[in-house]
């Protein structure tokens, strides 16, 4: 924490400038696109979270109430079992990539601009909200193009200096000021660069609230050195904002843009929980992710215009751990009761994942899809 405060000081010396995006007009069927990703969540994870929260006959989770349901193939260009980089690159840039690639072909083939870049091009604002490091693979594909997901400093540099992502909330503070170059050769004080580019830097819940209330339009929120604290490990007095709070903050800031916005919200730690075969952690992260979906649903429902002009997609990039539920086999569990669970591994699996959606263009997602189809539907919604 100490060295980050020093970095903030140096950033303050660099100076903060509040920049507003130029207002341009755009005719399109979706003013806003929100894609929400429970990383590594399979269908059995949904059954478990819903059953534990509400019982087998209880209410659905928030994302289960979206109007349309489909499913997607998740394989990458070079593997039936994708990683998060290739999986999210398929959504962001509309074609298959090799594992590790961040909307970038190592063989030099050109790539399309990402859906976030297209949104920015037509005057919209953009945000990335995650619970892992903000420069990890899933958010990276929307705001950067690099040959490997390990180029974390370069990903951060591109967010701030090339793509101009307006709202960045999550962990991964250590990537923003380092003397050791990443595999792309990038190093240095990105916080200084952020200050020069007009970002307000925030490091805890209160600072985030203040920046939002103060009308900041560009916010860099870095709440942990690496990933944020899992729900099951959070102390009651934690100063880290939770995913639903970060989502609400991003909506408040981004909707100030009259041209609309693109927003990614990732429940990043669902994947980590599944890698660890940690069932309580998995439940905590999925239910927190679902609270973030409920936050978006409430935002949509309080204004008919928002609901009519916002494409909302909830989709997992791949399944992790081969999680399943094997019991109890003799009685139905009550809410909060125990389930018998099992895992087939600690890595990603190749099974298809579900796609829940509503809003303009979402009817095209209610079918058997490839992950690259998500890009096409989002691009079409921008027209």
Residues that bind Zn ion (CB under 5 A): 39-40, 84, 271, 317
In the complex, least distance from residue 152 CB atom to Zn ion, rounded to whole angstroms? 16
Q: Nearer Cβ to Zn ion, position 41 or 151?
A: 41
E strand map for 91-231: 125-133, 167-171, 177-178, 188-189, 200-202, 219-222
Residues ≥6 apart with Cβ < 8 Å to 332: 55, 56, 57
Two tokens at 58? 């209880």
In the complex, least distance from residue 268 CB atom to Zn ion, rounded to whole angstroms? 8
Q: Nearer Cβ to Zn ion, position 101 or 166?
A: 101
In the complex, least distance from residue 187 CB atom to Zn ion, rounded to whole angstroms? 26
What is the C-alpha separation between 228 and 81, in angstroms, rounded? 26
What is the C-alpha separation between 170 and 269, in angstroms, rounded? 12
Q: Nearer Cβ to Zn ion, position 205 or 272?
A: 272
In the complex, least distance from residue 356 CB atom to Zn ion, rounded to whole angstroms? 17
In the complex, least distance from residue 83 CB atom to Zn ion, rounded to whole angstroms? 7
Is 114 assigned a catalytic role? no
Question: Shortest CA distance to 118 belongs to which of 28, 220, 197, 19?
Answer: 28
**Nearest residue to Zn ion on Cβ basis:** 84
What is the three-class DSSP state of 165?
Answer: coil
Q: Nearer Cβ to Zn ion, position 257 or 319?
A: 319
Among candidate residues 7, 76, 84, 216, the one labeled active-site is: 84
In the complex, least distance from residue 59 CB atom to Zn ion, rounded to whole angstroms? 27
3-state helix, strand, coil in the chain (%, to 5): 40, 20, 40
How many other C-beta atoms can be found within 10 angstroms of the C-beta atom of residue 348? 24
12 CB-side CA count, 13 A: 7
What is the largest distance, in Å, between two alpha-carbon atoms of the chain? 66
In the complex, least distance from residue 238 CB atom to Zn ion, rounded to whole angstroms? 25
What is the three-class DSSP state of 221?
Answer: strand
What is the C-alpha separation between 162 and 135, in angstroms, rounded? 14
Q: Strand 32-38 relative to strand 310-315: parallel, antiparallel, unpaired? A: parallel
Rg (CA), the chain: 20
Q: Which residues pair with 316 in a beta bridge?
A: none
Two tokens at 31? 């003013």
| Residue-wise DSSP of 11-28 | HHHH-----PPPP-----
Please name the residue that has the structure tokens 């990539």. Answer: 97
Residues identified as active-site: 84
């Amino acid at each position: 924490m100490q060295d980050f405060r020093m970095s903030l000081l140096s950033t303050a010396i660099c100076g903060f400038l509040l920049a507003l995006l130029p207002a341009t007009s755009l005719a399109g069927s979706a003013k806003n696109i929100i894609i929400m990703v429970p990383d590594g969540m399979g269908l059995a994870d949904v059954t478990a979270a819903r059953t534990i929260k509400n019982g087998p006959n209880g209410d659905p989770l928030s994302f289960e109430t979206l109007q349309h349901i489909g499913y997607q193939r998740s394989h990458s260009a070079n593997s039936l079992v994708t990683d998060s980089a290739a999986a999210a690159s398929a959504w962001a840039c509309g074609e298959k990539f090799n594992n590790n690639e961040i909307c970038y072909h190592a063989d030099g083939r050109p790539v399309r601009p990402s859906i976030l870049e297209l949104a920015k091009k037509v005057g919209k604002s953009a945000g990335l909200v995650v619970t892992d490091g903000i420069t990890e693979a899933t958010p990276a594909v929307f705001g950067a193009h690099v040959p490997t997901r390990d180029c974390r400093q370069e990903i951060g540099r591109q967010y701030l200096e090339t793509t101009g992502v307006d709202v960045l909330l999550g962990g991964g503070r250590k990537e923003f000021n380092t003397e050791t170059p990443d595999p792309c050769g990038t190093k240095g004080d990105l916080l200084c660069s952020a200050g020069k580019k007009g970002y307000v830097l925030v490091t805890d819940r209160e600072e985030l609230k203040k920046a939002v209330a103060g009308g900041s339009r560009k916010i860099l929120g870095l709440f942990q050195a690496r990933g944020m604290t899992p729900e099951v490990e959070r102390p009651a007095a934690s100063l880290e904002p939770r995913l639903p709070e970060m989502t609400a903050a991003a909506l408040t800031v981004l909707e100030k843009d009259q041209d609309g916005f693109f927003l990614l919200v990732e429940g990043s730690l669902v994947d980590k929980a599944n890698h660890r075969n940690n069932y309580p952690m998995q439940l905590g992260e999925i239910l927190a992710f679902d609270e973030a979906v409920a936050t978006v649903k409430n935002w949509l429902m309080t204004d008919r215009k928002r609901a009519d002009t916002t494409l909302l997609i909830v989709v997992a990039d791949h399944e992790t751990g081969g999680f399943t539920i094997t019991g109890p086999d003799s009685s139905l569990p009550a809410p909060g009761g125990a389930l018998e669970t099992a895992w087939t591994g600690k890595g990603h699996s190749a099974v298809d994942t579900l796609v829940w959606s509503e809003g303009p263009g979402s009817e095209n997602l209610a079918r058997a899809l490839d992950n690259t189809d998500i890009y096409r539907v989002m691009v079409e919604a921008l027209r």
